[in-house]
Structure 1
Amino acid sequence: MASSRLEGQLVDAQRNLIDRVRVSAEGSLWSGEIDLGDASPGLVSLFTEFEELVNDQVLSLLDNMETQVARLGPRFRVAEEEALPMGDLRIYQVLRVVSFRVRHAVRKVTP
């Protein structure tokens, strides 16, 4: 069963904003909504290319793309709390969907 939604931010290793998200957790997987409207053109291009590779099932190039995403050092931050490292970041820009796994526990949500 999914928990309440959290509003937070995805940032890179240098704390640059990737974009704002609204996500909930199911087990260790966080998923929800994202709008790359505030993201840099380079990031939009990266995630657009990733989405195209997935949709076209060009699996031979996905490893390289996942490495590029991992190099960003993506982190998930809620409010002014510490930004937590994450993995398996997937952003599907057209659908405005995001999913990822946080490597440390995130505080519980109080409705």
Structure 2
Amino acid sequence: MPRTIRSRNLDLIRWLDCGHKHTAKKLDAITNTNYLSKMATGEMEISDRKARSIEKTLDFPVGWLDRDNVALIMTAAIDFELHRLLVDYPEDAKAGLVKFLIAGPKQ
């Protein structure tokens, strides 16, 4: 089974969270150490239900496992700066900016 965004993110969590055993302990109500390893390496699928349970247990936002968090580590400085500036804006302002950017430049 090929690696997926979910498996890469789960692997990222393991390395950022003091290793496999520490992460496995946090997720012991959801999965065991062996299955955690298989999910993180892509040998075992991470279902929608399992993904949401992992996110909830780790207090991550819903959908965190489904976005390419590994690519965020490689973000260019200007993109990171935009993110840093937007974090504190209200949700409606962010939604308006997204609509503006999707519409693209007017010719």
Q: Please indicate the TM-score interval, normalised by the length of the shorter structure.
A: under 0.3
Q: TM-score, normalised by structure 1?
A: 0.27
Q: TM-score, normalised by structure 2?
A: 0.28
Which is richer in strand? 1
Asked which structure has the greater CA Rg, the reply is 2
